[in-house]
Amino acid sequence: MGRVRNSRRRTRKNKEYKKAIDTKRRPRDVDQIQDDLKKVAELQKEMEFEIDEDLPGLGQHYCIECGRHFSDASTLEIHRNSKFHKRRLRTLAEEQYTQAEADRAAGKTSEVLPPAHGNKRTESMDE
């Protein structure tokens, strides 16, 4: 008699676990970061965080452009000179997507059409 393969029974469980981890550690979207940058520009001061023991560096060293916390200031400076950070700056320089642009891309247009039979009141007033 052959033995039962356990891997077939575990695949669904593994997929669910991996999907949960992927969504839990998902980085912030570009649109969210662009909103943060607008707020910082309006207030004209850096974002301040309360001390949080769960975050690296107690949450005090934060890169707004990348949405990441760092353990100390020197690590943050090294990060700001990295290729990843410079690439993110180029991405953030692009114009922010709007709902109107998304609707146009989906083929949803908002056309203003003239009335099908004309406006009878304006025609009779002209005569």
pLDDT at 83: 95
What are the Cα distances from residue 63, in Å, to 13, 19, 25, 33, 74? 35, 27, 17, 10, 12
Phi, psi (degrees; rounded to nearest 5) at 93: -70, -20
Let me know: does 67 contact 91? Beta carbons within 8 Å: no
Tell me: pLDDT of 123 over 90.
no
The tens digit of pLDDT for each residue in 60-89 reads 888 989 888 899 999 999 999 999 999 999
Among candidate residues 51, 76, 78, 52, the one with its CA nearest the CA of residue 64? 76
Let me know: does 37 contact 29? Beta carbons within 8 Å: no
The tens digit of pLDDT for each residue in 92-109 reads 998 888 888 888 888 887
Plot region of 67 (φ>0 → left; ψ -120 to 50 → alpha; else → beta): left
pLDDT at 102: 86
Those residues whose C-beta lies under 8 Å from the C-beta of residue 119, and which sit 6 or more positions away, are: none
